[in-house]
Amino acid sequence: GAGVSQSPSNKVTEKGKDVELRCDPISGHTALYWYRQSLGQGLEFLIYFQGNSAPDKSGLPSDRFSAERTGGSVSTLTIQRTQQEDSAVYLCASSFLTGLNSPLHFGNGTRLTVT
């Protein structure tokens, strides 16, 4: 079946503009995560949605970052007033549940470049 789909695959934007990144998780997956990987860095946790629970936003680096998950499916990560340090690959992942037997399935990411 289809995996996690992210769009766009690449995005170049000017500093100060807003961007929206989209994630289509695997159908039926209740957990959805956003991570980012800056150049030479590991996977930085941003936000986590699990079913109807309140999202864990503890990883969002500033109030310019926000995310929504509509209808328990598609998620949008929004970055307002982008800065050059926001340049990174933004990865979305989903899983059926959370736990040992529900590993995350990642999309191929959106490469964001802020000029």
Q: Per CB under 8 A, does 25 bind another protein? A: no
Residue with tokens 């980012």: 36
User: Which residue carries 């500093």 as its tokens?
Assistant: 15
Contacts of 81 (CB under 8 A, 6+ apart): 16, 17, 18, 64
Strand pairing category for 65-69 and 75-79:
antiparallel
- Residue 66 in the binding site for another protein (CB under 8 A): no
Q: Which of 12-20, 21-29, 36-44, 72-80 is the region at the interface with another protein (rule: CB under 8 A)? A: 36-44
* Residue 20 sits in the site that holds another protein (CB under 8 A): no
Where does this chain bind another protein (CB under 8 A)? 4, 31, 33, 35, 41-45, 48, 50-51, 53-54, 56, 58-59, 91, 93, 98-101, 103-109
